[in-house]
Amino acid sequence: MKHPSLPLLVLLILLTGQTSRAQQSVIIYRCVDAAGIVTLQNGKPCSKGQQQQARRMEIPAAPLSPPMPETPPAQPAPAAEPAPATQPPALPAPEPVMASKREPLPPPPLYRCRTWGGKNSYLNEDGHPPKRCEPLQVQGIDGSTVNTGGIEACQMREDHCDRIPDEELCTAWNEYNRQAESMVRLENPDIAAKANALYRRTQQVMNTTRCANPETP
């Protein structure tokens, strides 16, 4: 078997180059001469006296570009690290508070009351003592002042009270406290409950107000 001649190889190379450059229809003629030499002709029929075979071939219209390398997928941007938490500014230390000396409370109001006629006086906390019945002299039909029938009569009288000035309150409460203590010492069952309640009251005032300090006016 005879090998293709050099022109045949050149033609194959040209055809290969054309297949990579153009897309078109071409006819290749295979020619065999009397000596048995085979030649391939592009679009040109064989010469007279040669055996001829024709083959149509399709050549690409555009050059085949090498495949583009695949673009790797975009890597996600690294997550930003959270910024460190900002510490709030330290608050200044509170200034030490000096314990202020608590002023003692003033004593409650007190009243000095006088009986009708001004003969006697006593201390009172509200200034409105109950009215009292002042006995009246009873005369008989004959005008005699001797009460032989046991008849009694009185007239309702109201005592007059004055508020004690503030600067004299501690002195007055001290007097009121001594009077209450004297009533308790009497141990009179008729007034024991009232005397004890009054004494507790006067003691509370003397111990919790400015009257507890003799130097406080």
Strand partners, 133: 156
pLDDT higher than 60, residue 22? no
More confident residue, 79 or 173: 173
Between 27-36, 43-52, 96-105, 111-120, the lowest mean confidence (pLDDT) is in 96-105
pLDDT of residue 88: 62
pLDDT score, position 204: 96
Phi, psi of 24 (to 5 degrees): -155, 165
Q: Is the pLDDT of residue 59 over 80?
A: no
Residue 28's closest CA among 5, 47, 55? 55
How is residue 168 annotated by DSSP? G
The string of pLDDT tens digits covering residues 183-212 is 999 999 999 999 999 999 999 999 999 999
Gap between the terminal Cα atoms of the chain: 151
CA dihedral for 119, 122, 126, 131, sign (positive or negative): negative
The residue with tokens 């005699």 is 144
Cα 130–Cα 135–Cα 137 angle in degrees, nearest 5: 160
pLDDT at 14 over 50: no
190: Cα within 13 Å, side-chain hemisphere: 0
The token pair at 209 is 């107000």
Q: What is the pLDDT of residue 136?
A: 81
Task: Between 170 and 85, name the one with better pLDDT.
Answer: 170
Q: For residue range 93-149, list pLDDT tens digits in order.
A: 666 655 556 788 999 999 999 998 888 999 999 999 998 888 887 776 666 666 666
15's torsion region: left (phi>0), alpha (psi -120 to 50) or beta?
A: alpha
Q: Is the pLDDT of residue 68 over 70?
A: no
- The number of angstroms, rounded, from the C-alpha of 206 to the middle of its chain's C-alpha atoms is 47
Q: Which residue has the higher pLDDT, 136 or 91?
A: 136
Considering the chain, what percentage of its residues have pLDDT values greater than 70?
Answer: 59
Q: What is the pLDDT of residue 15?
A: 47
Strands across the sheet with 160-163, in order?
Answer: 121-124, 111-114, 160-163
pLDDT score at 70: 60
pLDDT at 4 over 70: no
The DSSP letter of residue 59 is E
